[in-house]
Amino acid sequence: MPRGRKSKLRAREKRRQARSETQQAQEGESPTCSSLSGDVAASTSATALPPESQETPPIPPPAGAPSQKRSGKGAKGRRPERATSSEATLSPANIEKNLIMQKAGLLIHYLLCKYKLKQPMRKGEMLTIIHKRFRRQFPDILKMAADRIDLLFGLKLKEIKPGSGSYTLNSTVDDPNSGSSEGGLDFPANGLLMPLLALIFLHGNCASEEHIWEFLSVLEIYDGEEHIIFGEPRKLITQNLVKLEYLVYRQVPYSDPPCFEFLWGPRAYVETSKMKVLEFLAKINETIPSAFPFHYAEALREQEERAQAP
């Protein structure tokens, strides 16, 4: 092998080893949330379920989600590459909006990480994360992040003292998924439940396991990989949420090799409804429930049936 080629390979191996050692050192220390990248922001940032979805909707990446380069281990944990050609057609206003949504995604991750670790949330660290050129837009970015956290997790962001630049997240008392009731959902599981119920509903009230993992991979949640916010995802969706009767996880009859699917569990039907799920989707997509006409009609039928039930 030519000497130049060997030198390049040695240099590449040294960089890989250095990165590995740095990562191991960081894992051995107390985790911090202030040095973030876009790779982890997508998990809580946004619009993974589009209003134009009908029978079996495609699931595009959430606004601000990073492009994927890494290949995975098959369908369940696959990290797909995402096309970016559509970015060329965006207007300057849409590009700016996407940037703000991306920055909000970073703040969402920062705030949830701080909440989970019970660490203080500081404006100075948030400004560092979003970059100083977005200082003027900081109030709007913070509000967007706070609204998403409230919607997904039932946590309200409050400034400890006006002008202090220090914030706290408090559980919403009257949120049915806040975990306040015995046996209910606690953070962070409550943040995945409504999106999963929505996905199942949009797929005809029954979503294949492959579709579930495809959706979760868009949110940077992969089978077999510990997530910094949600922990071990397979245990969460196939055991925890099933045991609490929010989801049903079952084998597809006569499937060979065995395939599995997800449905709403009995507790989901009691605590929420198809209309509430559509309202959730509408809020996330900044639209109205009737933007999903096929599913809106189905939700109306369910409302009528519940009203007529004894």
Model pLDDT for residues 57-70, shown as the tens digit of each residue: 433 333 333 334 34
Integer Cα distance of 284 and 307 in angstroms = 27
DSSP-assigned letter for residue 238: I
Q: Is 14 helix (H, G, I), strand (E, B) or coil?
A: helix
Integer Cα distance of 119 and 114 in angstroms = 5
Over residues 188-195, mean pLDDT: 86
- Please check whether residues 219 and 254 belong to one and the same domain: yes
- Please check whether residues 199 and 142 belong to one and the same domain: no
Integer Cα distance of 296 and 278 in angstroms = 7
- Answer with the residue of higher pLDDT: 132 or 273: 273
pLDDT > 90 fraction of the chain, expressed in percent and rounded? 41
What integer pLDDT is reported at residue 24 of this predicted model?
Answer: 44
Domain count, the chain: 2
- Please check whether residues 146 and 42 belong to one and the same domain: yes
Integer Cα distance of 117 and 8 in angstroms = 41
Q: Which two tokens stand for residue 107?
A: 């703040």
pLDDT tier at 182, thresholds 50, 70, 90 = very low
- Please check whether residues 138 and 194 belong to one and the same domain: no
- Answer with the residue of higher pLDDT: 205 or 95: 205
Over residues 82-95, mean pLDDT: 61
Highest mean pLDDT among 110-119, 151-160, 170-179, 205-214 belongs to: 205-214
- Please check whether residues 47 and 165 belong to one and the same domain: yes
- Please check whether residues 74 and 166 belong to one and the same domain: yes
pTM: 0.68
Structural domain for 117, as ranges = 38-53+62-80+91-171
What integer pLDDT is reported at residue 83 of this predicted model?
Answer: 47
